[in-house]
């Protein structure tokens, strides 16, 4: 007769704060210049960062960094961002990569959206469009500026995506007629 043995029970612990603590530690390292292994040039300014954080947060950085030679003795990568990426738009995205917090204002929202699009930074759409929705509801002139920006930013595809996004998540913020006029 064979004796069947069942596997010993396994306990799995999942920390609710580990991910946040890792990000906080990486942000502190970045601010102190510790273990940074890439330099990003944006509008002539040098920004030090960690390749793994940039690559995990941006499809643009992933593609650029995968193409960088990592042979022994090779120089640390220096990435010059395209001219359309501004320091005002990039800084909040870098902060988001390290802290999961996105700071938006009327002064930076348009640049943040454009830079996020150019750099392939995702998972910001909800927060950006919640911010825009709040602005549209509270400020008449800014409302018109947001509508024009949304209409011009990327043409028909972005227009359709934004209309679908607003309809799905926030109800119809603009009337279809208004959106069509802005396109």
Strands (E), the chain: 38-42, 45-49, 78-80
What average pLDDT does this structure show over 55-75?
A: 87
Q: What per-residue confidence (pLDDT) applies to 138?
A: 74
What are the boundaries of each domain within the chain?
17-139
The two three-digit tokens of residue 156, written as one number: 């028909």
Q: What per-residue confidence (pLDDT) applies to 125?
A: 80
Tokens 């002539």 map to which residue? Answer: 44
* Lowest mean pLDDT, pick from 25-39, 60-74, 103-117, 147-161: 147-161
For the whole prediction, is pTM greater than 0.75?
Answer: no
The more confident residue out of 88 and 1 is 88
Asked if 77 and 52 touch (Cβ cutoff 8 Å), the reply is no
Bridge partner residues of 79 (DSSP): 40
Residue 117 CA: distances (Å) to CA of 92, 105, 140, 141, 151: 13, 17, 26, 25, 15
Strands (E), 19-132: 38-42, 45-49, 78-80
Q: What per-residue confidence (pLDDT) applies to 7?
A: 85
What average pLDDT does this structure show over 144-153?
A: 60
Q: Which of 42, 50, 52, 125 is nearest to 91 (CA)?
A: 42
CATH class for the region spanning 17-139? alpha beta
SS3 state of residue 39: strand
Asked if 100 and 23 touch (Cβ cutoff 8 Å), the reply is yes
pLDDT above 50 for 104: yes
């Amino acid at each position: 007769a064979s004796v069947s043995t069942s596997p010993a029970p396994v306990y799995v612990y999942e920390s609710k704060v580990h991910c946040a603590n890792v990000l906080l530690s990486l942000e502190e390292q970045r601010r102190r210049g510790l273990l940074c292994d890439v330099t990003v040039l944006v509008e002539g300014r040098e920004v030090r960062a960690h390749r793994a954080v940039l690559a995990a947060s941006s499809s643009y950085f992933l593609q650029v960094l995968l193409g960088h030679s990592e042979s022994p003795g090779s120089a640390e990568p220096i990435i010059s961002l395209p001219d359309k990426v501004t320091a005002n738009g990039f800084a909040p995205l870098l902060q988001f990569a390290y802290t999961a917090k996105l700071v938006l204002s009327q002064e930076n929202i348009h640049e943040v959206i454009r830079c996020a699009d150019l750099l392939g930074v995702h998972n910001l759409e909800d927060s950006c469009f919640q911010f825009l929705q709040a602005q549209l509801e509270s400020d008449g002139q800014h409302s018109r500026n947001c509508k024009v920006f949304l209409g011009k930013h990327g043409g028909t595809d972005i227009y359709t995506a934004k209309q679908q996004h607003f309809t799905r998540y926030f109800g119809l913020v603009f009337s279809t007629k208004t959106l069509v006029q802005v396109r």
